[in-house]
Amino acid sequence: MANTFVKIQTVTVGSATPTASFTSIPQTYTDLVLVFSSRTSRASDSDGMFITFNSVTTGYTQRDVLGSGTAAVSGNSATRYIGETPGNNATASVFGNAQVYIPNYTSANNKSYSVDAVAEDNDSSAYVSLVAGLWSNTAAITSISISPQTGPNLNQYTTATLYGIKSS
């Protein structure tokens, strides 16, 4: 049977840390799916999350639509932004969830990615985020890291799992 949705690696944050990273990503899959559950140390109800490919922090653009429960807004930026997650002032024990789908990650084309993220804490600051991202870089993706937009840290118990999907 073809290797489908195969777990490559799981990272669990044991103590607050600025990033969670996956390195030496096998180049044998077609697409990658990153699923993570996160909370940051930002002294606020929410924080943005960033993604970084191959330790390169340039060449990113994104366009998003966010629902806060009271308004729907849309933005765009030349950043690594991939949606909202709970900050340290969110309801205790609440972690946000997100899925990042990266097709054709080994190709020699620029890398498009799709992000769905949620952060619900039964309070006034919660978000559902849809993000369209583009990394204008033709290199194959060999490493991925996630980090807070503000942070500075990902809190303990943040987890992230990287899966590989094969098209044949």
Partner 1 sequence: MPKTYEPIQSQTVGTATPSVTFTSIPQTYTDLICVVSAKAASTAFDLYLQFNGDTGNNYSWTALSGTGTSAVSTRNSNGPAIQLDNYGSVRTTDFNTNISHIMNYSNTTTYKTVLARANAASSGVDLNVGLWRNTTAITSVTLYINSFAVGSTFTLYGIKAA
Which residues of this chain interact with partner 1, rule CB under 8 A? 1-2, 4-5, 30-31, 61-67, 72-76, 101, 103-104, 107, 109-110, 112-114, 116, 130-134, 136, 165-168
Q: Rank residues 88 and 101 by Cβ distance to partner 1 and give the closer one.
A: 101
Between 43 and 72, name the residue whose CB sits nearer to partner 1.
72
Answer yes or no: are the C-beta atoms of 43 and 63 closer than 8 Å.
no
Of 28 and 109, nearer to partner 1 (C-beta) is 109
Q: How far is the CB of 135 from partner 1 (least distance, A)?
A: 9
CA distance 69 to 73: 11
Least distance to partner 1, CB of residue 142, Å: 19
Please confirm whether the linkage preceding 152 is cis (ω < 30° from 0).
yes
The least distance separating partner 1 from the CB of residue 137, rounded to whole angstroms, comes to 11
